Amino acid sequence: MRRPPVLQPWLRRLPLAVVCALAVSSAWAQRDIRFDAPQVPAGGTLVLAVPDVGERGARSGVFAQIDTASQGALTRAAEVAGFRGRLDSQLDLPGIAGFDRVLLVGAGSGTADARRLEDVGGHIGRFAARSKAPQIDVVWDGAEPGAAAHLAFGAALGQYRFDTYRTTQTPDEAAGTGTLVVRSPEGAAAARRWDGDWKAVADAVRFARDLVTEPANAVYPETFVERTRAAFAGKPNVSIEVLDVPAMERLGMGSILAVGQGSARPPRLMVVRYNGGARGEAPVAFVGKGITFDSGGISIKPSENMWRMKYDMAGAASATGAVLALAGRGAPVNAVAVAALAENMPSGTAVRPGDVIRTAAGRTYEIMSTDAEGRMVLVDALWYVQRQDNPRVIVDIATLTGAIVTALGNDYAGLFTRDETLAAQLAQAGEAAGEPVWRMPMHPGYGKMLESPIADMRNGGGRPGSGTAAHFIGEWIDAGRVWAHVDIAGMAWRDGNELSTVPTGASGYGVRLLDRFVRDNFER
């Protein structure tokens, strides 16, 4: 099979590591985020986060200061537009009160918690990405501790865009660059919380989004590894292990090898270990499905929207991104990310429906569909991390089934686990991080649907598809091991249904969820 060409002929003349570095450095334009005291700037572009004080509530703080200086211009504009500060509302006012532009962003009523501040920041980031102003000043005069960093975190997520392959000038070419200054009572001191904590998470989300957005002729198993090496370069307490085809053959990893054997791009199993906790302490493990393109193999998918199947490595991107966040902020925990990387293609060497596969664990299964490949790569990865790292808990994350999209749409990821404590921990982390999960059943009867007359089991069959898929994966989990499976097929890509912190396209879903899960349950 002929290798697919890269997008630009000149890229073929560059070493792989240079290509990866170019992609990492040029994937998006963003504003530099800084922090200062909440004094009112002399002019320019100003953003005010405005609480909802009700119909008769009096405005205070910077809003009142500017309103008084402008003889009530802000109040009149807000009243005419019906703007009161309701959460998610905005009022864009050009040429008012001595400023080039004033954007009022509703902050809702009552005390603003971290999640609400991040959503407000997301709206600010979306505005900042469209604006050509060289500097945007954001004023928050509330007293909530850490508010500035959470506003900045939301803004960093909201301003995301991906322009690597644009070669033509557009009217918005100058937009989204410059500085975003968050002004709050914390002043410049807010930079410590941002630089030492939340910036690392924002960078990790961007890393995951970039990987998922890239086309499959740029990101495939080998380049996924190279981009990961580039992202972790210089991070302390990190090691990266990569198993190539001969190494996987020696270990008997027939399952991941079967998925990759139809492609000219060889599979890889990548393990990133971050040791920020106590020496010898069992790590938390995140295992991600990394199908860099999923054609369905011999059980080929319909052509409509197949282009989006470049996103089928979102689980691996998020698992790796979560550990990148932990390493970037120096989290006091040991953690492992495993990326099961393969490209699922039809060819004369591809596996077929009806083939029987032997896994590294020695168990066999009969292939019902080569499009049920995600679970196939995960079982060898799960076997390996259990044997090598003996993790205290495992969460696998994957764009696994269309059935979960039918069940939960784009509002929740599906959570499958038999551990009540872990279910509660992940649900709480999802709510706190803005990446919610919904627990789904794992009925013992699902196993009956996977029985095979010639092998230990089948890789699919029966309804519900997401439940039987979770059951299949769970068969490779050691007895007594704390484990959860998160199906993110409906959450990894937003298409016209943006959130304030998630523009259209790759969401990076899972990085914030897993980072928060570790914060709340494993950090001392």
Q: Is 289 annotated as a binding residue?
A: yes
Q: What angle do CA 282, 286, 289 make, to 5 degrees?
A: 150
**Rounded-to-integer distance, Cα 464 and Cα 461, Å:** 9
**CB contact set of 100 (below 8 Å; sequence gap of 6+):** 43, 44, 45, 94, 133
Give the residue numbers annotated as catalytic, written as ranges.
301, 375
pLDDT at 10: 39
Q: Is 312 annotated as a binding residue?
A: yes
CATH no. for 32-195: 3.40.220.10
Q: Please say whether the dihedral angle defined by the alpha carbons of residues 311, 316, 321 and 322, taken in this order, is positive or negative.
A: positive
For the chain, the structural domain boundaries read 32-195, 216-522
What pairs with residue 485 in β-bridges? 396, 416
Q: Is 214 annotated as a binding residue?
A: no
- Phi, then psi, of 36 in degrees rounded to 5: -160, 175
Q: Is 523 annotated as a binding residue?
A: no
pLDDT at 3: 38
Q: What angle do CA 70, 76, 81 make, to 5 degrees?
A: 135
**Rounded-to-integer distance, Cα 227 and Cα 18, Å:** 10
CATH no. for 216-522: 3.40.630.10
Q: Is 371 annotated as a binding residue?
A: yes
Tens-binned pLDDT, residue by residue, of the chain (524 aa): 333 334 444 344 444 444 444 444 445 568 999 999 988 898 999 999 999 987 666 788 899 999 999 999 999 999 999 999 999 999 999 999 999 999 999 999 988 899 999 999 999 999 999 999 999 999 998 888 899 999 999 999 999 999 889 887 565 667 899 999 999 999 999 999 999 999 999 999 999 999 999 999 999 999 999 999 999 999 999 999 999 999 999 999 999 999 999 999 999 999 999 999 999 999 999 999 999 999 999 999 999 999 999 999 999 999 999 999 999 999 999 999 999 999 999 999 999 999 999 999 999 999 999 999 999 999 999 999 999 999 999 999 999 999 999 999 999 999 999 999 999 999 999 999 999 999 999 999 999 999 999 999 999 987 789 999 999 999 999 999 999 999 999 999 999 889 999 999 999 999 999 999 999 999 97
